[in-house]
Amino acid sequence: MATDLMPRYADRLELGEGVRSVDGRVFLVDIPTGRLLAAPADPAAPLETVLRTGVPLGAVAPVAGRPGSWIAAAGTGICLLGPDGGTRWLARPEDDAPERMRMNDGSADPHGRFWAGSMAYDAVAGASSLYRVDRDGTVTRAVTGLTVPNGPAFSADGTLMYLADSVKGVVRRYPVDPASGELGTPQLFVTFSEGLPDGMTVDDEGALWVAVWGTGTVHRYRPDGVRSHLLRLPAAQPAGVCLHGDTLHVTSARGGLADPGPYDGAVFTARVEVPGPPAAAYRPL
């Protein structure tokens, strides 16, 4: 297999996800260990541990005006993490769910809201939801009936949201009301016959990059849904993607593999022609 993405850093993660470009650095999470990590300048060095949550950590976004602070999809809900390690929970909506749940992927939109999905540990069909955190801290269940949501990723103007339902092998595109955050009727954007769509990001041309779990590939789709690029990496389970300028970063996972290869769980990079913006911040009122 030809390899387009090259491994970086010394670590091999159980479930590397939520990779983000923030303030000139690349951050990511290892979900089951509850760690927020930062990529070092030396590509052969270990990842740096920024903080540990003590619960599974699905994804984070920076908090505007509060250096070192994050909003996080963690445990069974959504919390604010301070630079001193302090945690303030906004909501734990999956605490009393009939299935054993945890939070999964999430991101902020260009209007300062934070969105995060939940999932059942057993991937129970229809048991999961997508939550929206408004700037006043209100947490609203925005989409129900999902199985394993990943993303979301947003257009530059925040009027379109891409959301994967991974186990179902689909990515849907939702219109977003910029003022209220209310979602319109979704349209099917891409269907996958092989592999599962996982983490996503949008580049400066409005194209969607998708990590395709189980295939060792990352795809790029133009806004009309036509695939323009397919990149390969020597890891079976690519899970998260971000653009750090014109460098694509891809996380992967070792967890669940009976015989992990030497690069399963690694972070990979490749130069690309079209750059992408840094991660949007959550902007509390």
Q: Is 150 known to sit in a ligand binding site? A: yes
Q: Per the omega criterion (within 30 degrees of 0), is the bond before 152 cis?
A: yes
Using an 8 Å Cβ cutoff, are 117 and 130 in contact?
Answer: yes
- Among 30, 105, 165, 198, which one carries the catalytic annotation? 198
Q: Phi-psi region for residue 58, left (φ > 0), alpha (ψ -120 to 50) or beta?
A: alpha
Using an 8 Å Cβ cutoff, are 139 and 116 in contact?
Answer: no
Q: Which residue has the tokens 């090259």?
A: 6
Q: Is 194 known to sit in a ligand binding site? A: no
For the chain, how many helices (H) and strands (E)?
0, 23
198 included as an active-site residue: yes
Q: Using CA atoms, how far apart are residues 262 and 111, in angstroms rounded to an integer?
A: 40
Q: Is 198 known to sit in a ligand binding site? A: yes
The Cβ of residue 197 has, within 10 Å, a number of other Cβ atoms equal to: 28
- CA 179 to mean position of chain CA atoms: 24
Q: Is 99 known to sit in a ligand binding site? A: no
Question: Which of the residues are catalytic?
Answer: 198
Show binding-site residues for substrate: 102, 104, 122
Show binding-site residues: 17, 102, 104, 122, 150, 198
